[in-house]
Amino acid sequence: MDGLLNRGRRLLAPMAAAVAAATLLAGCTDTGTPAKAADSTPQAPRAPQAAQAPAQAARKADGNGLQSDYERVIKDVLPSVVQIDAANSLGSGIVYDDQGHIVTNAHVVGGERQFKVSTATGGGSVGAKLVAAYPEQDLAVIKLDSVPSGMKAAKFGDSTKVEMGQIVLAMGSPLGLSSSVTQGIVSATGRTVTEGAAGGGPGATIGNMVQTSAAINPGNSGGALVNLNSEVIGIPTLAAVDPDMGGSAAPGIGFAIPASMAKTVADQIIKSGKVTDSGRAALGITGRTVVDANYQPAGVAIVDVKRGGAADKAGLKAGDIVTRVGRTDITTITSLSEALAADKPGQTVQVTYTRGGGAKTATVTLGEI
C-alpha cells in the first residue's frame, strides 16, 4: 500500500488520534488487504509460568513427546475453530460459548451482516448474523442461527502469561483450506501494530500483540493461536510482508491479538451489543501529519478538538502542532497513535506542542476512545 506520508502535500487527510507501528503487513483474509505496522520493543522475558506444567508433565510421561502433544491439542481445539464465508472475504473464527457466539476479526466480517460458517466437525455450513464489530481493535462477534452437534466452546488462556519461546499452533482456514494447522513459537510479546485501512492510510492500532513464527496466511484471520495446554492465547490477525520481495510474505513473522483483549471485547459485545469500556486512551482530537520544508514529517497538527475531551480540558486548540507525548517524539499521526497505545484512560502525560511558532507544554489527563 502507499506509505503513510504523501510527500507531495504539506497536510494529510484528517484522522482521529487514538492509538500504532513500522514493517509492512498484510491482513489475513483471502482479500490480502495490505497493512502498515510498527512494532514496539518486546516485553522483557518473564519467569516461566506454572500454566505450562500440565503440558510439560504430559511430555515427560509420553515417549512420543511433541508429536503426542500436537495430536492432543489439535483434537481438543479444532472443533472450536470455524471457517467464515462473507460476501467478499473468507476468514476464520473461534467458538466462544455454548450459545453459538463466534469471535473473529472485524476485517473478516467487513461490512457484512450475514455469513456462512463451516465447522471442523463437518455437517455443512450454518447461517450466522453479526452481533457487533469493533474495528478499533479489529474484533467482531457473530452468532450462529443454530449450534451444530459436536461444536464446543474454546478455552481461552491468560495471554499475560505468554512467554517468548513457548510452542504454539495456529489453526484456521488459510487460503480456504479449512481445519489447517501450523506450528511455531512465540517470537515476541508486547508488539504494537497498525493495520492498513481500505483505501490506504493507517487502520486499527492494536497494542500488546503476540508475534509468532507459526505460519499465518490469508484466511487465517480470526482463527486460534493456542498453546500446548489447548488454550487460545491469541487470534491470528496479520502477517508481515517483505517490501524487498515485491510485497510477498516475510516467513515466520505473524501477529495475533492477545486472548485477554479478545475476551474483554467479546464479553461486552455479547452483553451490551457494543463495546462500552474500550480501555484505550485518547487525546480527543482530530489531527493531520504535517511536513517541513523538506517534506519530512514534523508533527501532528490539531484540526479539531473534541469539546470536553482530554485535549480541550488541557487547553489545546485547533492549529496547535503536537511534537511530543511523554518521552516519545511525535512526527506523524501514526507515531501519535503508537505513543497512546501503551497508555490508559485517566493517565496523565506531558504533551509538547507549538503554537504561533513557540514551544509549549501541557499536562493532559487522557480520555477514552
* pLDDT tens per residue, range 243-257: 776 666 678 999 999
Reported as a single tens digit per residue, the pLDDT across 104-153 is: 999 999 999 999 999 876 778 999 999 999 999 999 999 999 998 888 99
SS3 160: helix
Reported as a single tens digit per residue, the pLDDT across 53-85 is: 455 544 444 446 889 999 999 999 999 999 999
Domain membership flag for residue 8: no
Q: What is the CATH number of the domain that holds 319?
A: 2.30.42.10
CA 106, 338, 365: angle at the middle one, nearest 5?
105
Q: Which of 89, 159, 187, 221 is catalytic?
A: 221
The reply to whether 107 belongs to the active site is yes
The reply to whether 221 belongs to the active site is yes
The reply to whether 138 belongs to the active site is yes
Structure letter (DSSP) for residue 88: S
Which pTM value belongs to this model? 0.77
The answer to whether 120 and 177 are in contact (CB under 8 A) is no
Q: Which of 30, 39, 138, 343 is catalytic?
A: 138
If asked whether residues 31 and 157 sit together in one domain, one would say yes
Q: Which of 69, 101, 107, 179 is catalytic?
A: 107
* Domain termination site, one of 276, 293, 311: 276
SS3 369: coil
If asked whether residues 338 and 271 sit together in one domain, one would say no
CA distance 275 to 270: 9
If asked whether residues 158 and 261 sit together in one domain, one would say yes
Q: What is the residue range of 329's domain?
A: 281-368
